[in-house]
Amino acid sequence: MNQAIHFKTSMFDVSKEKENPINPIYGLSLLEWLRKKLEGKIEITEPEAEDWGWCSELEYEGGNYLIGACAFYEKGDNPTSEIEWVFQVHKYRSLKEKLLGQNKMTTSDNCFQFFKGLLDQEPGIKEVEVA
């Protein structure tokens, strides 16, 4: 199960993002910002387009995760205004873990808490909520 964090920010100009070739959904700029901010600490893969937004993969404390981002923005909206975002964290589990109900993704997961803390601490990011 994915866990999601909702927030608002005007830190990213999504109108300058490269186009998502699958679906016109924005979110690339958040993942690029995270890659740059965490460079040398956590290796995050190059963001890839998805039909629901953008995603990257990473390893955190021995676990493998997919992180995803999408922004509620449509062409014609003001790209410098505060935009609502969804950031999600998904933990990869083995088939055995899934069958036995082990190692489930929760909001108390260390990787999830790491990213929530990062977003909470950023002055330009507001109304951080777990949903």
Whole-model pTM over 0.85: yes
**Residue among 119, 106, 131 nearest 8 (CA):** 119
Order across the sheet with 3-9: list the strands.
48-50, 53-60, 63-71, 83-91, 3-9, 125-130
pLDDT of residue 74: 86
- Structure confidence by residue, pLDDT tens digits, 77-131: 888 889 999 999 999 999 999 999 999 999 999 999 999 999 999 999 999 999 8
The yes-or-no verdict on residue 21 having pLDDT over 90 is yes
User: How many Cα atoms sit within 13 Å of 105 on the Cβ side?
Assistant: 18
**Amino acid, single-letter form, for residue 109:** D
pLDDT of residue 1: 57
H or E segment at 69?
Answer: strand 63-71
d(CA 76, CA 15) in angstroms, rounded, equals: 9
